[in-house]
């Protein structure tokens, strides 16, 4: 099976949509010899920050000399991004081999009368198979959606991580914080430690769930915390403390924003906890891991003159964090936005939180069937100038023209938009901020 054939096979599974539940994935993995049991794991969920935290944990393990797999979703440009070994995406040939093997097991499952797995279930099973084949020691596994019924929830990890809980995916996980927290807390296993930065009602529900499963709980603000020290260039220095283990250290992080301070605190607390059973993890390797972490498309600087930032913020909490970052780094300066939002999001709330009256906005359609209609999104925005563009290329030309060399451009609103923009940057279609 070639890479293109693997993509065609996965595209054929899209017709089955999103179907939460563990029956199909469990039967498939059983046929595959349960590869998920052949390595240790850390399971990460949360409304925002779970991808960044997953990347930080993976980088810490790699810096500690531990062979590490990382499974994340969605991808920005290439499916291979979802499966990484020691911080590097697998090669296309390796991805195709993993999908080919898994597809044969799916065929066996169907012959035995089993139900057709979804695309995400096949990807998850393929990731577990490939990690086992590569003999990783640990895998950091990011939940796809929710937690309780997500196909990654077949693992029994060393530690469960819940970054935070806010409103998102209300059609799948519920319309209230309590309902969503119930899904996130669903990854908690009997006697498996939990690290969380959730607060308020969500923290209370997670606490009750952990207590009911005799799972030790380590919480932001109670057992560990962090504080911002300074920014130098595109690096921020932070202090992290964990009174529960009498630990304190200073770290340099190549990811900006107050929300990343909290994500880093979660990752470091998890690493400190894991170091109690894994002696290769030390304060030095944790510092080195955080310094080396990379998580593309999250407040990523991809151009100068004008400054060009791309950010995958795609829900209310995400765009609030993005706006805080922009205000902190560029106080009082107008931002020229390239904006694309999915129609099933809180478009009004997101635009209200992100856009200021002095900003300029060009709205485009993200590359998704769920893309919000640009004219409808634009109608909800109050700013100095609001326009629509017929394509991402046209939108990029417009924002660069509006901003000029001394301005600030920010592309945001959907990972589908950010992936398309980043692809154009990496391919050379955008050079010197010209399309």
Tell me the pLDDT tens digit for each residue of 20-58: 789 999 999 999 999 999 999 999 999 889 999 999 999
**pLDDT confidence band for 146 (50 / 70 / 90):** confident
Whether omega before 306 lies within 30 degrees of 0, making that bond cis, reads yes
Distance of CA 206 to the CA centre of its chain: 21
- Cα–Cα–Cα angle for 353, 47, 76, nearest 5°? 85
CATH code: domain of residue 54: 3.40.1190.10
In this predicted structure, the answer to whether residue 174 has a pLDDT above a threshold of 80 is no
- Contact in structure between 72 and 44 (CB atoms under 8 Å): no
What local confidence, expressed as pLDDT, does residue 269 receive? 99
- Note whether 261 and 359 are same-domain residues: no
- Note whether 96 and 228 are same-domain residues: yes
Beta strands 217-219; 194-196: pairing state: parallel
Q: What pLDDT digit, counting tens, does each position of 286-314 carry?
A: 999 999 999 999 999 999 889 999 999 99
- Note whether 242 and 281 are same-domain residues: yes
DSSP assignment letter at 342: B
At 418, list the tokens. Answer: 């950010």
- Contact in structure between 60 and 273 (CB atoms under 8 Å): no
> Radius of gyration (Cα) for the chain, nearest Å?
21
What local confidence, expressed as pLDDT, does residue 176 receive? 86
At 179, list the tokens. Answer: 């309902």
Question: What is d(CA 340, CA 33) in angstroms, rounded to the nearest whole number?
Answer: 43
The residue segments making up the domain with residue 313 are 300-426
Question: What is d(CA 40, CA 192) in angstroms, rounded to the nearest whole number?
Answer: 12
What's the average model confidence in pLDDT over 180-185?
A: 94
What local confidence, expressed as pLDDT, does residue 427 receive? 83
- Contact in structure between 191 and 39 (CB atoms under 8 Å): no
Question: What is d(CA 237, CA 132) in angstroms, rounded to the nearest whole number?
Answer: 36
Of 292, 325, 355, the residue at which a domain comes to its end is 292
What local confidence, expressed as pLDDT, does residue 53 receive? 98
Cβ burial of 214 (10 Å; 0-12, 13-18, 19+) is exposed
Kind and range of the H or E run holding 31: helix 23-31
At 390, list the tokens. Answer: 């017929």
Q: What pLDDT digit, counting tens, does each position of 96-137 carry?
A: 999 999 999 999 999 999 999 999 999 999 999 999 999 999
Beta strands 88-89; 247-253: pairing state: unpaired
At 344, list the tokens. Answer: 């099933």
At 93, list the tokens. Answer: 């040939």
Q: How many CB atoms lie within 10 A of CB 246?
A: 7
For the chain, the straight-line distance linking the first and the last C-alpha, in angstroms and rounded, comes to 35
Kind and range of the H or E run holding 249: strand 247-253
Any domain includes 433: no
What local confidence, expressed as pLDDT, does residue 421 receive? 96
What's the average model confidence in pLDDT over 378-405?
A: 95
Question: What is d(CA 192, CA 423) in angstroms, rounded to the nearest whole number?
Answer: 39
Question: What is d(CA 350, CA 148) in angstroms, rounded to the nearest whole number?
Answer: 27
Question: What is d(CA 392, CA 402) in angstroms, rounded to the nearest whole number?
Answer: 15
What local confidence, expressed as pLDDT, does residue 431 receive? 60
DSSP assignment letter at 338: E
What local confidence, expressed as pLDDT, does residue 106 receive? 98
**β-bridge mates for residue 301, sequence order:** 309
**pLDDT confidence band for 17 (50 / 70 / 90):** low
At 198, list the tokens. Answer: 């959730």
Least confident of 15-24, 143-152, 280-289, 366-375: 15-24
Of 292, 308, 338, the residue at which a domain comes to its end is 292
In this predicted structure, the answer to whether residue 170 has a pLDDT above a threshold of 60 is no
Any domain includes 432: no
Of 260, 275, 292, the residue at which a domain comes to its end is 292
What local confidence, expressed as pLDDT, does residue 19 receive? 76
- Note whether 173 and 120 are same-domain residues: yes
Question: What percent of the chain is predicted at pLDDT more than 70?
Answer: 96
Q: What pLDDT digit, counting tens, does each position of 239-261 carry?
A: 999 999 999 999 999 999 989 99
- Note whether 222 and 286 are same-domain residues: yes
- Note whether 51 and 144 are same-domain residues: yes
Any domain includes 344: yes
- Note whether 172 and 244 are same-domain residues: yes
What local confidence, expressed as pLDDT, does residue 45 receive? 98
């Amino acid at each position: 099976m070639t890479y293109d054939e693997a993509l065609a096979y996965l595209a054929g599974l899209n017709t089955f949509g999103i179907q939460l539940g563990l029956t199909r994935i469990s039967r498939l993995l059983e046929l595959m010899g349960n590869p998920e049991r052949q390595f240790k794991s850390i399971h990460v969920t949360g409304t925002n920050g779970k991808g960044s935290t997953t990347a930080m944990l993976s980088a810490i393990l790699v810096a500690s000399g531990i062979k590490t797999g990382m499974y994340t979703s969605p991808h920005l440009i290439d499916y291979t991004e979802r499966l990484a070994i020691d911080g590097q995406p697998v090669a296309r040939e390796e991805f195709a081999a993993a999908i080919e093997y898994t597809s044969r097991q799916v065929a066996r499952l169907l012959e035995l009368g089993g139900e057709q797995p979804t695309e995400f279930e096949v990807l998850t099973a393929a990731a577990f198979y490939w990690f086992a084949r590569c003999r990783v020691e640990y895998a950091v596994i990011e939940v796809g959606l929710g937690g309780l019924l997500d196909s990654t929830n077949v693992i029994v990890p060393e530690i469960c991580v819940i970054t935070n809980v806010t409103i998102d995916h209300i059609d799948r996980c519920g319309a209230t914080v309590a309902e969503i927290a119930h899904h996130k807390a669903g990854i908690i296993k009997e006697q498996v430690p939990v690290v969380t930065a959730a607060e308020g009602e969500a923290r209370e529900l997670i606490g009750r769930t952990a207590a009911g499963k005799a799972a030790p709980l380590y919480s932001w603000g109670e057992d560990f915390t962090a504080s911002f020290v300074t920014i130098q260039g595109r690096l921020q220095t932070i202090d992290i403390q964990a009174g529960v283990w009498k630990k304190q250290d200073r770290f340099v992080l190549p990811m900006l924003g107050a929300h990343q301070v909290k994500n880093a605190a979660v990752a470091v607390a998890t690493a400190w906890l894991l170091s109690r059973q894994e002696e290769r993890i030390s304060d030095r390797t944790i510092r080195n891991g955080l310094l080396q972490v990379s998580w593309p498309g999250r407040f990523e600087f991809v151009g100068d003159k004008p400054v060009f930032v791309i950010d995958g913020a795609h829900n209310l909490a995400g765009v609030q964090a993005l706006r805080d970052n922009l205000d902190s780094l560029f106080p009082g300066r107008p931002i020229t936005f390239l904006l694309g939002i999915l129609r099933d999001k809180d478009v009004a709330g997101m635009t209200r939180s992100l856009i200021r009256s002095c900003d300029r906005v060009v709205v485009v359609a993200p590359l998704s069937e769920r893309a919000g209609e640009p004219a409808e999104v634009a109608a909800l925005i109050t700013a100095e100038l609001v326009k629509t563009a017929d394509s991402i290329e046209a939108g990029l030309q417009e924002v660069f023209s509006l901003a000029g060399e001394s301005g600030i451009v920010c592309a945001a609103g959907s990972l589908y938009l950010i992936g398309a923009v980043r692809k154009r940057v990496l391919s050379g279609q955008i050079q010197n901020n010209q399309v």
